[in-house]
């Protein structure tokens, strides 16, 4: 596995588990930094790279030597690497020491609990991939567009629950997520957005502990039927039929 060294900002091929931080965010157009660019001089002046630098700085402050950042640490040009990343993403977030969530459309001077706060309306909460990035890690810290810390998942669990419909217990105790019925977990994913329609399905595989071959072009409906069949094969939870 590849991790980004916070001191050198170079990728390292790690063959044994090391403590690491992880970044959750949403790339803007033109911001995505790919595996083969990381560590080069040119990448440091590209749009959005400050997210990588700030993630490294926060990890350093927390006494961690490594971070994992989606496209930076997995080779997007390799279909095998893309598949492995999609299948293991939930585990990556679950095993991280801490998750830094950067919300570039949130005002750090606001109270996130206020009804009209930008936190409550951040596009991050609507992403398909957000669901696992929110639920899997035990410790999640939210940062505004100026990198002001907004709060933690635990401290804001009531606010997030009211926004998303996700039960507070699932937010505060990640280990309890599998105890919720299949239908309940499915409801948390309803209405989420992704660039590729199949990703609406692939983004929730980790919530049900199943894996599917990553294939694009089949459409959301066909991919979702495959997910349902795999869940039925691995659980006796009848609520999936109600869903």
- The mean pLDDT of the chain is 90
User: What pLDDT does 48 receive?
Assistant: 73
The pair of structure tokens assigned to 29 is 């157009």
Q: CB of 188 within 8 A of CB of 130?
A: no
Q: Could you read off the pLDDT of 137-156 as tens digits, one per residue?
A: 999 999 999 999 999 999 99
List C-alpha distances in Å: 50 to 10, 27, 57, 102: 15, 12, 10, 11
Rounded CA gap, 107 and 114, in Å?
12
pLDDT digits (tens, 9 = 90+) for 60-94: 999 999 999 887 777 666 667 667 777 788 999 99
Q: What's this model's pTM, rounded to 2 decimal places? A: 0.92
């Amino acid at each position: 596995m590849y991790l980004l060294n916070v001191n050198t900002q170079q990728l390292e091929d790690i063959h044994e588990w090391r403590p690491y931080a992880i970044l959750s965010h949403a790339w803007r157009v033109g911001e995505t930094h790919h595996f083969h660019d990381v560590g080069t001089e040119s990448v440091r002046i590209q749009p959005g790279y400050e997210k990588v630098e700030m993630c490294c700085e926060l990890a350093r402050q927390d006494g961690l030597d490594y971070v994992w950042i989606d496209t930076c640490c997995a080779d997007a040009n390799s279909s095998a690497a893309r598949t492995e990343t999609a299948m293991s993403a939930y585990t990556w977030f679950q095993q991280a020491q801490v998750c830094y969530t950067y919300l570039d459309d949130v005002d750090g001077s606001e109270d996130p609990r206020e009804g009209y706060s930008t936190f409550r309306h951040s596009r991050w909460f609507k992403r398909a991939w957000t669901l696992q990035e929110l639920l899997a890690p035990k410790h999640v810290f939210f940062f505004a567009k100026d990198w002001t810390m907004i709060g933690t998942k635990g401290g804001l669990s009531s606010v997030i629950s009211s926004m998303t419909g996700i039960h507070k217990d699932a937010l505060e105790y990640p280990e309890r997520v599998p105890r919720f019925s299949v239908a309940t977990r499915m409801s948390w994913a309803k209405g989420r957005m992704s660039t590729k329609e199949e990703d609406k399905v692939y983004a929730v595989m980790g919530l049900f502990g199943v894996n599917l071959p990553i294939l694009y072009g089949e459409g959301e409906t066909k991919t979702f039927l495959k997910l349902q069949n795999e869940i039925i094969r691995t659980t006796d939870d009848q609520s999936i039929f109600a869903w």
